[in-house]
């Protein structure tokens, strides 16, 4: 399924998880919200949960940096004009998710936040592996 922009030359992106299956669509230049970027919303939720953890010291700092890196790289990748550039930032975001998952294991975090990290990791992985068509 392809989604066309209302304005010629305005970048719209369709993410395919399989034939004709739309995963997410970037806002066009005029800022019209075509569809929510669910992986980014999940990354922001994850970051909020990480920030609420009662940790101190270097593990708190590292976990906080890695969790924010996920959301920031997803957002930056979403703004890039080509598939290659988008995938580069999505791969960085995915690697940061893996880092947070390891830290959560090291600090023996509860299962709820680990499950959220797993959902975020699966969603980021799908973006890395998706075929992105630039319209």
Instruction: Give 44 or 28, the one with higher predicted confidence.
Output: 44
Confidence bin at 98 (pLDDT 50/70/90): very high
| C-alpha gyration radius of the chain | 16
Residue 15 predicted with pLDDT over 90 = no
Protein fold of 37-129:
de novo design (two linked rop proteins) (1.20.1440)
Distance CA 35, CA 25 (A): 6
pLDDT of residue 96: 98
* Mean pLDDT over the full length of the chain: 80
CA distances (Å), origin 133, targets 25, 61, 102 = 10, 37, 33
Spatial CA neighbour of 24 closest among 42, 3, 38: 38
pLDDT of residue 36: 64
The whole-model pTM stands at 0.74
Residues with Cβ within 8 Å of 86's Cβ and at least 6 positions away in sequence, in order, are 13, 77, 78, 80, 132
Distance CA 67, CA 64 (A): 5
Lowest mean pLDDT segment, chosen from 1-10, 56-65, 122-131: 1-10
The HSE-up count of residue 102 (CA atoms within 13 Å, CB side) is: 8
pLDDT of residue 43: 97
């Amino acid at each position: 399924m392809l989604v066309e922009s209302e304005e010629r030359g305005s970048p719209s992106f369709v993410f395919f998880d399989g034939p004709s299956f739309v995963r997410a669509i970037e806002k066009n230049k005029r800022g019209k919200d075509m569809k929510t970027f669910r992986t980014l919303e999940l990354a922001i939720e994850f970051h909020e949960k990480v920030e609420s953890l009662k940790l101190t010291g270097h593990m708190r700092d590292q976990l906080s940096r890695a969790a924010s890196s996920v959301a920031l790289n997803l957002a930056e990748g979403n703004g890039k004009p080509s598939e290659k550039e988008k995938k580069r930032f999505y791969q960085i975001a995915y690697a940061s998710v893996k880092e947070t998952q390891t830290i959560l294991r090291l600090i023996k975090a509860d299962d709820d936040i680990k499950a959220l990290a797993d959902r975020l990791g699966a969603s980021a992985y799908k973006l890395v592996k998706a075929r992105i068509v630039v319209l």
